[in-house]
A and B are shown apart, each in its own frame.
Chain A
């Protein structure tokens, strides 16, 4: 599903060129549950963003479902991104001005899903995540765990084939973290490919493969 070929990422800070990712070669098959680990500043988020098409590599080739992502224009990228990829962040990143229901609805609106179908899918998702009672609340009225739940619900509501989660439990208590990991595992079982960034060995164990990053290099 994902092929990274000699990916390099660097920033030009005035005179100095800072490398963040060095010579990344990586293949991830559909249905995998991959955990990326490494110390802070290793480049994990950057890698995840490149995979999620939110950022572009400075060098190298990226093939998603055998299509060359590095050669695409913005519109095509957006299109690909929104049909195949769901994102989950450590800071949840819900839209504060919208209710839970509306947060779930927004991605569907962007995909121009019809009103009836929208209603059905939101209801189904609220059910599945057991947050029906919370649907009219605003994000700041929820606990961190609940917010992350909503964020994941929002990520999967468009039925993406790939979920990218950047330290999804980083801000949560271990109990809440465990719930989230169980949920991701369940989604993986149902066929969704998952790539997560995590610091915790326990969480990493939920996946079937661990990739270690250090100073931008993949450790063998």
Chain B
């Protein structure tokens, strides 16, 4: 019997080629989108689960309050781990990690390593990273030991045996400068892509001076601390004990009044998707995007299923005769029902395997967007297989249930007599499904356009400084004496308009200090700069004057504690209630020192547009980490090779790792950019699928109405009349769909925009244009058929009946 069903299924597929193509192509694309998203979700959900102790590991976050300002960060001091191990029986062990960057040298090879981590020797007992060579207990036990991942080892040593080799390392940090020799004590497998902790080199934590027993501090938070608990449940008891314990440390912490410092704990596996605390290993995922993408994938699948249902029910009429005959020769209703279900499963299964091939094909592109952890093989598991089978069953059932139900109910006597009038069954269902498809498509397009508007808004927004044609070069303390010469050499090139050094770029400033004025203490962001900062970046001074070289020397020497010059932004003055004209020369306490406001600058954006501009202090520091070079814009590549030549000559120890300020700026919105990309893809898919379905339906209804069209033509109807005859109903549906889609998309997009402190206005034109575009598209689709039908010879089409 099953064989008979399948035979009919295959022959039907081959017989109605256009129809089958639309069905299978539509379903495969829908399923492929789902599978891709599923891979993404599986990857996100699998974060850190490779650790055998995953359910017992927690990340400590530091929560503190000063003068009513409360903050929580994922970094802690060095003392947390030893203190907790001593005082809390719940803690079995723990590890401190210091996530930094370093310059690494081996013979003639010099690389800047952005993923360089220091870790306590307990690292391998707590996490399940795979050590290939070396001793898991001893590898990080002594100072100046380092473990390389396989790819890092290959980079430095090629095929040579790495263990025991000595490499020179310079880590960049305010407290730790200079080159040191490190011995390679282990080789490990590269970090899994679904690990929140990622690094290429892992050095022993005891190499750091701050790690000396007795030197441990609560403050000076720079370290990410993970604790291994005795049981997964003890997270709650421990969490409850911490605030009281930390209260006993107030004296050592120097805390008074309502100020406090305490710690919170996050289960390891929740960190990646659910933690909103910054400062840990970045960047992390966001469960909201996982939800949004999953929802969209399901909607896309819904659209392609709707196509399938629509075409199958429309076509059902054509199969009425077959059903009638089968009934007459003895089929039970249920047997017919099974037949249609079997056919549908067959189509679903074929589509599924087509989809898997599609996925395999587009996965490389998707990987670029979403990281390398995605692989079809992650579906190979009992859950994966179960989900696939469920999905095939679900699609099969969805696609077949209605036609099977309707068809198996046909009265053979009526059908065979030909009194069965076509098209009436399921008209309502078909119309609702078309509306559903176009609601989703239009809503997705509208959302995509709003996302695009917002990103355009961000990119075109006047930031208050000029980010174009600025090269950024990392600089560190070991080359401070060379920066002056470098600057002079660079400026000799006529295409270089200015050079400045600062503690970081103006794109994202999150270093904080505080200012006290008039008994009011506020949290401020701070940026150390040299005297050329304002000029090079085009930041506008509204009052007072710029720093001089002497200011920097004064500030660094720390000889005097009064009258040190700072420059502040307008927001800072507003928060302190100082009027800009009175500000110059005024004394405020900044970082415990008496400082004089020397200048006021116009506000510029130094964080993402998600947050409002906050108070900012510029101070004339000498330890500066970023060199920014303003270029004229012409002969860029020549200018860059000029800089590289000078750089390599003057600081051969340091790789020339240039980036553009503009690109760094875009990275701030990387996740929004990716969201936009995904929306582009999905919106396009939704539209394509919906149109494909409409195409199929229209071609079917034209076929059904061939005779009517023939008669009308014979009576003198023109192509225009035929077009309006065919498109009337659809146009109504499209207008309804858009009317539903607009408020939905408006609501969703407004919620998304609320996440931005600075945002674009949602333009009414987006809605109007999408409506017009949808109508145009539909008229084109119908037009293609209408022209064919209208230009056909009416005599010919009439003869068919």
Contact = CB atoms under 8 A, between A and B. Distances in A.
Interface of A: 45-46, 49, 52, 54-55, 74-75, 78, 81-82, 86-87, 89, 91, 93-98, 102, 105-107, 109-111, 154-155, 158
B333 A154 contact: no
B335 A110 contact: yes
A158 B416 CA distance: 21
B479 interface: no
Interface in B327-364: 327-333, 335
B330 A102 contact: no
Contacts of B8: 95, 97-98
Interface residues of B, number: 25
A38 B612 CA distance: 91
Contact of A82 (B15, B321, B330): B330
B4 interface: yes
Given A81-B330, A91-B416, 5 more contacts: A46-B413, A55-B413, A94-B325, A97-B322, A155-B329
Contacts of B324: 93
Contacts of A111: 330
Contacts of A102: 4, 7
Contacts of A52: 328
Contacts of A98: 7-8, 11
Nearest to B12: A97
Contact of B331 (A74, A89, A110): A110
B599 interface: no
- Pick the most buried of A75, A106, A107: most chain B CB atoms within 10 A of its CB: A106
Given A54-B411, A94-B325, A109 B4 contact: yes
B280 interface: no
Nearest to B329: A107
Give chain B's interface secondary structure class.
helix
A110 B7 contact: no
A54 B415 CA distance: 11
A78 B332 contact: yes
B326 interface: yes
Given A55-B411, A98-B8, A102-B7, A78 B325 contact: no
Interface of B: 1, 4, 7-8, 11-12, 15, 321-322, 324-333, 335, 411-413, 416-417
A54 B325 CA distance: 11
Nearest to A49: B413
Contacts of B332: 75, 78, 110
A155 B329 CA distance: 7
A154 B168 CA distance: 90
A111 B331 CA distance: 8
A111 B329 CA distance: 10
Contacts of B7: 97-98, 102
Contacts of B416: 89, 91, 93
A106 B335 CA distance: 12
B326 A78 contact: no
Contacts, number: 67
A86 B325 CA distance: 11
A78 B12 CA distance: 26
Contact of B333 (A74, A87, A91): A74
Nearest to B3: A109
Given A55-B411, A97-B8, A97-B12, A106 B329 contact: yes
Contacts of B417: 45
A74 B326 CA distance: 15
A111 B322 CA distance: 18
Contacts of A49: 413
Contacts of B330: 78, 81-82, 107, 110-111, 158
Contacts of A45: 417
B326 A87 contact: no
29 contacts: A46-B413, A54-B327, A54-B413, A55-B413, A74-B333, A78-B333, A81-B330, A82-B330, A82-B331, A87-B329, A89-B416, A91-B416, A93-B324, A93-B328, A93-B416, A95-B8, A96-B322, A97-B12, A97-B15, A98-B7, A98-B11, A105-B4, A106-B326, A109-B1, A110-B326, A110-B331, A110-B335, A111-B330, A154-B329
Contacts of A110: 326, 329-332, 335
A89 to B, nearest CB: 7
Closest 6 A/B residue pairs (Cβ): A82-B330, A54-B413, A55-B413, A107-B329, A49-B413, A97-B11
Contacts of A87: 328-329
B5 to A, nearest CB: 9
Contacts of B411: 54-55
A52 B1 CA distance: 25
A95 B332 CA distance: 17
Most-contacted residue by chain A among B12, B331, B333 (CB, 10 A): B331
A98 B8 CA distance: 7
A52 B416 CA distance: 13
B329 A54 contact: no
A93 B327 CA distance: 11
Contacts of A94: 325
Contacts of B328: 52, 54, 87, 93
